[in-house]
Structure 1
Amino acid sequence: MNTHVSPLPAQKVWDLVVRLFHWSLAAGICANLLLLEEGERPHRWVGYAAVALVLVRIVWGFIGSHHARFASFFPTPSRLRRHLAELRYGSHTPSVGHNPAGALMMLALMTLVLGLGISGYMMGTDAYFGEDWVKDIHETLADILQLAVLLHIAAAVLMSRIERVNLVRAMITGIKQWR
């Protein structure tokens, strides 16, 4: 008989805007990194769409639902230290919204997408066309983004196990259901 008691009741966490942003951005990143030809029109348009998604998410971070707002999860140094110490010593309390490390990753991913959008745009302008340093920045940011995405996926799997919640399902349904 399983006597495990869920630490928290099921809760509505991520609204539709957050979930559509997440999965649309994931699809765009996968398309541009794995499927579309670099520099071609579809690659550029998917990149611009990714930037637009990030800009919408930034606005939503100020006006959206409680768990969408940056103020509810912004990864301050003290929040990060406490979160990492709790994980290290096995005293972690499940997060209803983004935990501080997840919030930091989210902000890093969005920053990388914005940097890719800016450098990609620059490569198509008269002022920077053919400049190797702009192309190098764009390629380096794309490489860093790939690593960050892999780390994000690994962390989501790990935190799902630690918190006993299916984070992928929660990002689809918007509801966190602890086991």
Structure 2
Amino acid sequence: MTPAQATGTVPVWDRPVRALHWALAGGTTATWLTGQWWHDSHEWLGYGVALVIALRLAWGWLGSAPARFAHFVRGPRATWSYARAVAAGRAARHLGHNPLGGWMVLALLGCAAGTASTGILYTTDWLWGFDWLHRLHQALAWCMVGLVTLHVAGVMFTSWQHRESLVAAMVHGRKRAAAADDVPA
């Protein structure tokens, strides 16, 4: 009997994906919390977040099959179809990211990259003190708050809808084995 058969679970997210996910979540939170008062810490945490983003982007092209963006980012038609199925209460369960979740990964990484980039640019002699850059950095940080809120709401809703903890799956990397009507990873 295989481990999957014994536990009724299958591997979904590998260690690098999970580690980078939690590093980005923790780094983003810490960077947000230090933004107004602890500028040195904020700056170094921002560099750390930028490194995590770079590593996740690399792993999204070079990593294991389920970690690759091509594996879980669907086209607009499939994504819109899935969104309609969610609204109708009949969305199929996905072993990996569902189509909306795949696009949320890109939105979060893009917004985090934009926030980190504007923060880094603000520390350069070239762009130090430019108000428009500071405002853009703040706007992207608030956009990140909105995206994280949507992400957490989507995780909670999908966990409830399919009766499984996606948070636990992002910790240990496993989900219950596919049923006949599930969509493969």
Scaled by the length of structure 2, the TM-score of the pair is: 0.87
Which residue does the alignment assign to 1:145?
144
Do 1:16 and 1:174's aligned partners in 2 also have CA atoms closer than 8 Å?
A: yes
Could you tell me how far apart the structure 2 residues matched to 1:16 and 1:35 are? 28
In structure 2, give the amino acid aligned to 1:62.
Answer: W
Query: 2: CA distance between counterparts of 1:75 and 1:113?
Result: 21
1:60 has 2:59 as partner:
yes
One-letter identity of the residue aligned with 1:26: A
**Cα deviation, residue 35, structure 1:** 4.1
| Cα distance in 1, alignment partners of residues 172 and 163 from structure 2 | 16
- Please tell me whether the aligned partners of residues 34 and 41 of structure 2 are also in contact (alpha carbons under 8 angstroms): no
Instruction: Provide the identity percentage.
Output: 35
1:88, CA displacement in angstroms?
2.2
Equivalent residue runs for 1:9-28 within 5 Å:
10-28=9-27
Q: RMSD of aligned C-alpha atoms? A: 1.5
How far is 1:73 from its partner?
0.8
**In the alignment, residue 15 of structure 1 is paired with which amino acid?**
D
Counterparts of residues 1-179 of structure 1 (less than 5 Å): 10-35=9-34, 37=36, 40-177=39-176
Figure out how many residues of one structure are paired with residues of the other and give that number. Answer: 170
Contact 1:112-1:145 at 8 Å conserved across structures: yes
Cα distance in 2, alignment partners of residues 160 and 38 from structure 1:
36
User: Counterparts of 2:68 and 2:47 in 1: how far apart (Å)?
Assistant: 24
Does the aligned pair in 2 maintain the 1:160–1:167 contact within 8 Å? yes
Any gaps of 5 or more consecutive residues in structure 2?
A: 1-7, 178-185
